[in-house]
Amino acid sequence: MSGSSSNNQRILVGVSGGIAAYKAIVLVRRMIDAGCEVRVVMTEAATRFVTPLTFQAVSGHPVRTTLLDAEAESGMDHIALARWAQRVVIAPASADLMARLAAGMADDLLTTLCLATEAPVQLAPAMNRQMWAHPATQANYARLLERGVTMLGPDAGSQACGETGTGRMMEPEAIADALLTGEGAGDMAGLEAVVTAGGTREPIDPVRFLANRSSGRMGFALAAEVARRGARVTLVAGPSTLATPAGVRRVDVETAAQMQAAIESIESMDLFIGAAAVADYRVARPAEQKLKKNGASLSLELLPNPDIIATVAQRGPRPFVIGFAAETERLAEHAAAKRQAKGMDMICANEVGAGRGFDTPDNALLLLWQDGERVLPRAAKTQLATQILDTYLQIKQDSSHASR
């Protein structure tokens, strides 16, 4: 585990009402073992699942449960507690808690602290799969993400209610790992990064679209690794069934135009990684009604889409731009030309087609940048993500030495 700089963090752990509350005990224990100072705040409902005394014993500090507690407020009052925290982590975050936070309510100590703190707020949602999938919860989730709250999970799997699906709280060890190595803690701490992933869909009519075989694995692996190394990451993803990596803000899009708009709305970025397979063309006039088969041939007029990565590379101030080249022939030659044409700092070239590159768990890459190249032999995409970012950091380091 890297990121030991985070080990003296002051962490406020919020516990809301859900069966996963007992797992927060392990989380608190892990954070303390790693050298963090932890204060626990429980909602009323959480105290029905685990007693405050348990968290007091594990954290070594009295546990706060109510806002209007004259005795506690005469010590460290709630505003002081909100200022004390360097991070607020709520595990488990129930559907009710997410709804109250999304509505900006301050009807108990925990929600009040979330409004009063300047520290980053992270939630580990935990609830029944239907509750998680409910449009109200999804709208609350999206609203919280928009406001800069980061999400740790939820995971998919068997649930306490006996059902199977998405909604399980991330395991406490994984949450602790994300907190100790995530945003603000690794060798990319302080950076703002944007990663694109997956393919776009360009509508033909209300039910048909032009698409490609990208699964999003490469981009999601990069986003996970950038977050693990401490950067603040926004993942702009085309349709994908993959789970959002821990600590990553995710914006879901469908078309290239939506992807471009999502990226344009991000004001500042230090690093941009374009792993998405963005459609080069869109249908000029998507039909409003489902196209009928009439036996005759059908032509679709296609218009070129804007080149997202080339636009990002022209920004001022400009982020470091890493792109990909998906090629079926003359890999190095085409990738080098693509890097120049789109103004990328580094390009990751891959041979695609015939079962390679797209929708596979592994890949092989050729990295090209102005002063060098590196061959990455076939490996899991998670491992390639680490190697790409190691190379990026090395290039940055070399260029800062050269400019001294």
Select 98 or 313, whichever has its Cβ closest to ligand PMT: 313
Q: Cβ-count burial of 132 within 10 angstroms (0-12 exposed, 13-18 middle, 19+ buried)?
A: buried
When asked if residue 195 is in the footprint of ligand PMT (CB under 6 A), the reply is no
Which of 171, 162, 38 minimizes the C-alpha distance to 92?
A: 171
CB of 352 to ligand PMT, least distance (A): 6
Which of 280, 333, 370, 393 is close enough to bind ligand PMT by CB under 6 A?
Answer: 280
Which of 72, 193, 309, 366 is close enough to bind ligand PMT by CB under 6 A?
Answer: 309
Structure tokens at 314: 């022209």
Helix (H) or strand (E) holding 336: helix 331-342
Select 168 or 338, whichever has its Cβ closest to ligand PMT: 338
User: What residues between 321 and 350 interact with ligand PMT by CB under 6 A?
Assistant: 323-326, 338, 342, 350
Q: Is 161 one of the catalytic residues?
A: yes
Question: Which span (32-40, 99-107, 110-118, 301-309) binds ligand PMT, by CB under 6 A?
Answer: 301-309
Select 129 or 338, whichever has its Cβ closest to ligand PMT: 338
Structure tokens at 2: 């890297």
Structure tokens at 124: 């580990």
Question: Which span (104-112, 120-128, 264-272, 275-283) binds ligand PMT, by CB under 6 A?
Answer: 275-283
CB of 2 to ligand PMT, least distance (A): 25
Contact 21, 92 (CB under 8 A): yes
CA 201 to chain centre: 21
**Which member of 36, 114, 161, 348 is catalytic?**
161
Helix (H) or strand (E) holding 42: strand 37-42
Which string of x and - marks every residue 353-392 that binds ligand PMT (by CB under 6 A)?
A: ----xxx---------------------x-----------
- Count of beta carbons in the 10 Å neighbourhood of residue 152: 26
Select 91 or 389, whichever has its Cβ closest to ligand PMT: 389
Question: Which span (6-14, 65-73, 161-169, 209-217) binds ligand PMT, by CB under 6 A?
Answer: 209-217
When asked if residue 78 is in the footprint of ligand PMT (CB under 6 A), the reply is no
Q: Where are the alpha helices (DSSP H) in 134-277?
A: 135-146, 172-181, 217-228, 256-264
d(CA 213, CA 205): 20
When asked if residue 217 is in the footprint of ligand PMT (CB under 6 A), the reply is yes
Which of 250, 274, 346, 385 is close enough to bind ligand PMT by CB under 6 A?
Answer: 274
Structure tokens at 156: 């998919």
d(CA 64, CA 87): 17
d(CA 22, CA 54): 10
Which string of x and - marks every residue 235-264 that binds ligand PMT (by CB under 6 A)?
A: ---------------------x--------
In our burial notation (b when 16+ CB lie closer than 10 A, e otherwise), range 200-229 reads bbbebeeeebbbbebbbbbbbbbbbbbbbb
Which of 214, 234, 244, 391 is close enough to bind ligand PMT by CB under 6 A?
Answer: 214
Which of 305, 331, 391, 392 is close enough to bind ligand PMT by CB under 6 A?
Answer: 305
Which of 308, 331, 346, 368 is close enough to bind ligand PMT by CB under 6 A?
Answer: 308
Structure tokens at 42: 């429980």
R_g of the chain, CA atoms, integer Å: 23
Binding site for ligand PMT (CB under 6 A): 196, 198, 214-218, 256, 274-278, 280, 305, 307-309, 323-326, 338, 342, 350, 352, 357-359, 381
Catalytic residues: 161
